[in-house]
Amino acid sequence: MSKYDTSLTRGSKFLLRNIDAPDRKAEIKRQLIDQGWVQTYSLKTCDIVITDEEPADDLVAQAQGYNKSVIRFEEAITLSELSSLPELTEELAPEFERRPAFEITESEVRILDIHIPRRVQSSQRAGTLESLHQFEHLCLDQSFLTTARYLLTAARYDIPCVLEGETATAKTTVIRWIAALTGHPVYRINLNGQTDTSELVGRYVPSSGFEEIDTDVLLKHIGEFDQNPEWERIRKDLIEVRESIVRGEPRELNPIEKARIAKTLGLATKAWAFVEGLIPRALRHGAWVILDEMNLAEPQILERLNSVLEADHTLILTEGENVTFGPNADVEIHPDFRIYGTMNPAEYTGRNALSPAFRDRWSMWRFVDLPTEDDLKAMLIHLVFGEHPSFEFQGVVYRAPKSLAAYPILQEIPNIRSLLERLATFHFTLSVFAGNNAQSQGATLGRTRRERYQFTRRGLHAFMKLFAASVRDTLQAEADHTDLIIQRSLMESLDIIYISKVQETSDRNAIRSAMRAAGLID
């Protein structure tokens, strides 16, 4: 690593070492931050180690063990002055066009620079219609939105697409968010080792005996029911169904009404009926399918979907009555049908290797990165203030519109933004120590455990929910929210979500050391 590597400038994370005088340390920190550097408190997570004097041999040796360089403060300032990569701000980058990260109109949706038509009058019967309100907690940062753009491209051109990545990287969530934006119903199929083909394409089940009653045929001949007084109740049932269609809220005959019709008309019944699975239903109604945790299922089960993944989707229900789906088949496939898959890396316990034939049919495949420390900071800022980060993509600066804050009560805490930055640093450090991050060089937390600890965004969300609730309850009970009271809420929440999670005393002490290094405790 070159001493004057200009990639180590603005945005690089520095770790201060061997600076004993508090005033001098504070001054060095201030100057580096003013130059665009970011302070961190762990040797594992930093980009460079900075000291005020000639570095001691033991510090150099320790840093080299983590492939880090040690430079003096004066050299760090020189790096900043040599930098040709200024921080992206509205003042420093006036040449960039600025646009909202996404837009919704009656006819289409745009995410970054990709457009797709919106679905009109989606039916609840076709699947689950997502509500945008349930996604207000999401921080729409660069990683999330560029992944969403990739998925929207897959939807625009009807190309099967897989997202692969570590747990809690929002793989499923980003698909559901796009479906909510575009008005498409979603079938989410959670796959596992016990999944069989019947869950995907259908199975025979004991029948109520009345499935053969065709409501449309009965409505066409409703006038004939006037000829027999015994059929008066049937005629009323059919009139109710017809009126529901006129109102735009169509309903089917219920089992009691079907039983009444079958008994009155003497219709034959059957003991078993084939019920289509989620894949045929999605093909019929134009729903989006998410095959969640795809590589947990047995490979031979997934092979059943090979024809569905072809460019011209087809399916034959050989398990049932040989109904065919596809061009010029028994059932024409709805043009809105799309299929996505998500999976953790194959190295995860219990994952199966996908067959080459099945894997090759997923023509679009994207690896989703783990969140960086800056991503975690942006997420926490969003939860408290509703602000999304801006970023540059292909010469345009994008930023999502401000949304409702999930925990506005935390805005009352003095210096809350500084606290959120320290929380992000702490959480990111633990993810590195636990081996949950790309910067990890093996787990140092839970070394004796068969399964590693997980410190993901889910845990950080849980902490914020608990912390905000504790602060709210405290403020209601106490007239003055002193620093001591807030610190008590903070420590209690950290203990519940983080310290209680680990088993070994040495691991608990390591977490407390990370808290101290991040400035959360003295």
Instruction: For each of the domains in the chain, give its residue range(s) and CATH number, in order of start.
Output: 13-82 (3.40.50.10190), 124-201+276-368 (3.40.50.300), 208-270 (no CATH), 407-517 (no CATH)
Q: Long-range contact list for 49-54, CB < 8 A, 24+ apart? A: 49/14, 49/15, 49/17, 50/14, 50/15, 50/16, 50/17, 50/76, 51/16, 51/17, 51/18, 51/19, 52/18, 52/19, 52/24, 52/28, 53/18
For the ranges 146-155, 198-207, 280-289, 375-384, which has the lowest average pLDDT? Answer: 198-207
- Residue 451: is it exposed, middle or buried by C-beta count within 10 angstroms (0-12/13-18/19+)? exposed
User: Which has the closest alpha carbon to 514: 451, 459, 444, 448?
Assistant: 444
pTM, two decimal places: 0.74
Q: What does the pLDDT read at residue 85?
A: 37
Residue 128 is classified by DSSP as: B
**The predicted structure's pLDDT at residue 79:** 63
d(CA 389, CA 140) in angstroms, rounded, equals 7
Residue 99 CA to residue 281 CA, distance in Å, equals 38
Q: Cα–Cα distance between 301 and 379 in angstroms, integer?
A: 38
Beta partners for residue 97, in sequence order: 396
* DSSP reduced 3-state for 498: coil
Q: How confident is the model at residue 47 (pLDDT cuts 50, 70, 90)?
A: confident
Yes or no: say if 398 and 100 are a contact pair by the CB < 8 Å rule: yes
pLDDT band (50, 70, 90) for residue 340: very high
pLDDT class of 499 with cuts at 50, 70, 90: very high
Q: What is the pLDDT of residue 7?
A: 47
- pLDDT tens per residue across span 255-302: 778 777 777 777 666 667 788 999 999 999 999 999 999 999 999 999
Place of tokens 């940062």: 141
Range 362-382 average pLDDT: 96
- Give the rounded percent of residues in the chain with a pLDDT score beyond 70: 86
Confidence of residue 6 (pLDDT cuts 50, 70, 90): very low
pLDDT in tens, 386-443: 999 999 999 899 999 999 999 999 998 888 999 999 999 999 999 998 887 655 556 7
Q: Are 150 and 366 in contact (CB under 8 A)?
A: yes
User: Which residues are CB-contacts of 117 (< 8 A; sequence separation ≥ 6)?
Assistant: 107, 108, 182
Q: How far is CA 103 from CA 108, 110, 182, 413, in A?
A: 8, 5, 11, 34
Q: How far apart are CA 433 and CA 13, in angstroms?
A: 17
Q: Give the gyration radius of the chain's Cα atoms.
A: 29
pLDDT digits 0-9 by tens, 64-123? 888 888 988 888 777 655 443 344 444 545 567 899 999 999 899 999 999 999 987 544
Helix or strand (DSSP H, E) at 242: helix 232-246
**pLDDT tops 70 at residue 215:** yes
**Residue 228 pLDDT grade (very low, low, confident, very high; cuts 50, 70, 90):** confident
pLDDT at 62 over 60: yes
CA distance 202 to 216: 24
pLDDT score of 122: 46
CA pseudo-torsion sign 503, 507, 513, 519: negative
| Residue with more model confidence, 143 or 47 | 143
